[in-house]
Amino acid sequence: MADHKSCDRRAKSGQDLFSAGEPCDAIFNLVEGWAFHYQLLADGRRQILDFALPGAVLGFDGLSGAAMTYGVQALTDAVFCVVPRRALGPLSRRHPGIGLHLASSIARDRDAAFARLTSIGRQSARERVAHLMLELFVRRRSQWPGHRIEEMHLPLTQEHIGDATGLTGVHVNRVLADLKKDGILTFSYRRLVILDPDRLVDVAEADPGLVQSWIQYGVIEQEPGAETLNRGLASTGVDGPRQAQDGCVAPFTEVRRGASGAAHFGRSQAQRSAHPVVRLANQRCAC
């Protein structure tokens, strides 16, 4: 797999990793920072499709050489691990697990898109904003297991929230004002405070399974006796997580292994299982 080593890439906040319409010959593993998928309409209207946290796989569209249908922009300064698209074929032939693995990762992205579709299509502005804030809160907090803080920095503006929920920034502001008045949450100048988690879950109409999926956004699936599947694509261990401690011999980094983040943040998956954590989040990929 050492053959597939490749360079990494840095992007400044606000900079595009790639844009809609251009072909993308590589896939990227977000190692550090935040990014988002988006699409633009001809007149400039923007839809944010998904927020990506460290561990996300970006840029795989199934059709190599085809133009991307969406763009990816860095929300903060960010670091990506680059894998040439052409390397995937040989790679998956040598390591049969990687294909299913990737499929699994993309399926999770699709499910997230489905969830957002339902939110935007069928929920009120209040529900949508609550939904997104809850999702980002849970996903972000699950990266810092052990922390219980209900206050955190989210690198978004209210305009971003609007573009993600299908609302105008102005209306998002009014909705946030309401949520604050009701003692549910506050969000201003990139600072989110959850005042009443239970009522937030209630307003968001988030069922427990959905919240669980946010928590497990980066957690491994392990097929008994088969290869390891996880979101970030295991650093090494395609035939089992045991090899994962050998260091970075592949372009992918398992970043959020062990992110449990369940309601009360019990011990992480890594602590429960015998398998070691490959690499801490927010740490640069060494390949």
For 6, which DSSP code? Answer: -
Q: Which is nearer to a second copy, 70 or 187 (CB)?
A: 70
**Partner from DNA, a second copy, none contacting 262, C-beta within 5 to 8 A by type:** none
Please tell me the number of Cα atoms within 13 Å of 126 on its side-chain side: 14
158, 236, 260, 269: residue in contact with DNA (rule CB under 7 A): 158
**Which residue in 284, 253, 286 sits closest to 78, CA to CA?**
284
Provide the mask over 89-128, with x wherever binding to DNA is found by CB under 7 A and - wherever it is not: -----------------------------------xxx--
| Cβ-based neighbours of 108, under 8 Å, separated by 6 or more | 213, 217, 231
Number of neighbouring beta carbons within 10 Å of residue 274: 7
**Partner from DNA, a second copy, none contacting 147, C-beta within 5 to 8 A by type:** none
37, 141, 160, 256: residue in contact with a second copy (rule CB under 8 A): 37
72, 83, 98, 200: residue in contact with a second copy (rule CB under 8 A): 98
Residue 186 burial by CB count (10 A; 0-12/13-18/19+): exposed, middle or buried?
A: middle
Interatomic CA distance for residues 112 and 118, integer angstroms: 10
User: CB 183 → a second copy: shortest distance, Å?
Assistant: 22
Q: Which is nearer to DNA, 69 or 124 (CB)?
A: 124
Number of residues interacting with DNA: please give it, by CB under 7 A.
20
84, 99, 166, 197: residue in contact with DNA (rule CB under 7 A): 166
Q: For residue 12, state whether it binds DNA (rule: CB under 7 A).
A: no
Helix intervals (H) in the chain: 88-94, 97-122, 125-141, 158-165, 169-181, 197-204, 208-215, 269-272
Find the binding residues for a second copy in span 228-247 (CB under 8 A).
Answer: 229
Find the binding residues for DNA in span 180-199 (CB under 7 A).
Answer: 188-191
Long-range contacts of 152-159 (CB under 8 A, 24+ apart): 152/191, 152/192, 153/190, 153/191, 153/192, 154/187, 154/190, 154/191, 154/192, 155/13, 155/34, 155/75, 155/76, 155/190, 156/51, 156/75, 156/190, 157/190, 158/187
Q: For residue 260, state whether it binds DNA (rule: CB under 7 A).
A: no
Q: Which residues bind DNA (CB under 7 A)?
A: 124-126, 157-159, 166-171, 173-174, 176-177, 188-191
Q: Which residues bind a second copy (CB under 8 A)?
A: 21, 37, 39, 41-42, 45-47, 49, 60-64, 67, 69-70, 88-90, 92-94, 96-111, 113-118, 120-123, 163, 165-166, 205, 209-210, 213, 216, 221, 223, 226-227, 229
